[in-house]
Amino acid sequence: MPVDLSRFARIALGAWPTPLEECPRLSAALGGPRILVKRDDVNGLGVGGNKLRKLEFLLGEAVEGGADTVITFGGVQTNHGRQTAAACARLGLRCELVLTRSVPRSGEAYERSGNVALDLLYGAAVHICQDDEQTAATYRRVVAEARAAGRSVVTLPVGGSNGVGALGYVAAAAELRSQVGDPGPDRIVCPIGSAGTAAGLALGTALLDWPVRLDAASVSHPPDESLADIRRLAAESAALLGVPVPALDHVRVTDRALGPGYGVPTEAVWEAIRLFGRTEGITLDPVYTGKAAAALIDAVRSGDIGANETVVFLHTGGLPGLFGYAPELIAAVRG
Ligand SMILES: Cc1ncc(COP(=O)(O)O)c(C=O)c1O
């Protein structure tokens, strides 16, 4: 069924369609599966990334509702926060980022480089909180101050993941479907954190009756929780679209590359980053795309992905976050 998104408020932020690139040297290095990379990391605004697709709908709704101030959340090196800051700069909105030290890391690179530096460059107000309690208190204060100043506030969820944000990846499914031709890929591989990306893709592919499998590699949550998040968000988007919720039997979540937890890269992640960089000149990050690529590599090596398959790897961005891990990056890539 074609999906009509035209009745939703939407503000153009990214450059679409993003490229879909053949990766023959990466495929050869892995001994078989044809791998294409969908380059949602190079979609333009604010160094790019998957959040721009969600923000087109989220900020479309916010601006239509008269908001002049956007508040959102994330970890210290949140890519979502950085893209929200860039989008707000472009739209002339005030951006408040209420960030939590949710990753067991500190140091100059993590706290003052990468996304944090860009948040400030794009003019956001950055509030770094020690824990969830301080985050909640800071959020209440920022809202109260904005309202007292006569501002109209909209709050976006972590990762921009709600039913409206996930519409961005319903649109992305249709964009990708028109790029792949026939026969299409056997599966799409993507990272999953707050789940809006995978939920939109899951719903979008189902509504298109596209017989492709979706493998989401968790970077933060146990797989059953992530699958529940996909179902909840896909149901929210389906309700907005006025369509029944599809079964989503084509969706799997794996934690095969999660390692010790969110924001903690493993040696397999650094190996994946090196492999993509050295075979195709593609930059992954250690928190999201590096973990999804490590899951892809492990699935190929263990035979779960066959040598004759065609796989689309969704590159969701995250480049600035790589520099938050500069010391480990240098250690991992030095000859
Ligand atoms: C680079 C990158 N990839 C993937 C994700 C995960 O997307 P989602 O939160 O929609 O699951 C994020 C989320 O912050 C991200 O920044």
Q: Where are the domains of the chain?
A: 20-49+161-333, 51-159
Ligand 1 atom with the shortest distance to the CA of 196: 10
Cα(147) to ligand 1 centroid in Å equals: 30
Q: What is the pLDDT of residues 250-292, one digit of tens each?
A: 999 999 999 999 999 999 999 999 999 999 999 999 999 999 9
Q: May I ask the CATH class of domain 20-49+161-333?
A: alpha beta
- The yes-or-no answer to whether 20-49+161-333 and 51-159 have a common fold is yes
What are the CB-based long-range contacts (under 8 Å, 24+) for 322-325? 322/114, 322/273, 322/283, 322/284, 322/285, 322/286, 323/109, 323/113, 323/114, 324/76, 324/77, 324/105, 324/109, 324/110, 324/113, 324/114, 324/115, 324/116, 325/109, 325/110, 325/265, 325/286
Q: Which two tokens stand for residue 226?
A: 């992530």
Q: Mutation test of ligand 1: which of 38, 40, 50, 325 has the most ligand atoms closer than 8 Å to its C-beta?
A: 50
Task: Report pLDDT for 31.
Answer: 95
Ligand 1 neighbourhood includes 161 CB (under 6 angstroms): yes
pLDDT for residue 1 is more than 70: no
Cα 150 to ligand 1 centre (Å): 33
Ligand 1 contacts CB of residue 49 (under 6 A):
yes
Fold of 51-159: Rossmann fold (3.40.50)
Nearest residue (CA) to ligand 1, atom 16? 79
The reply to whether ligand 1 has any atom less than 6 angstroms from the CB of 200 is no
Share of the chain above pLDDT 70, in %: 99
pLDDT at 45 over 80: yes
Residue 41 pLDDT level (bands cut at 50, 70, 90)? very high
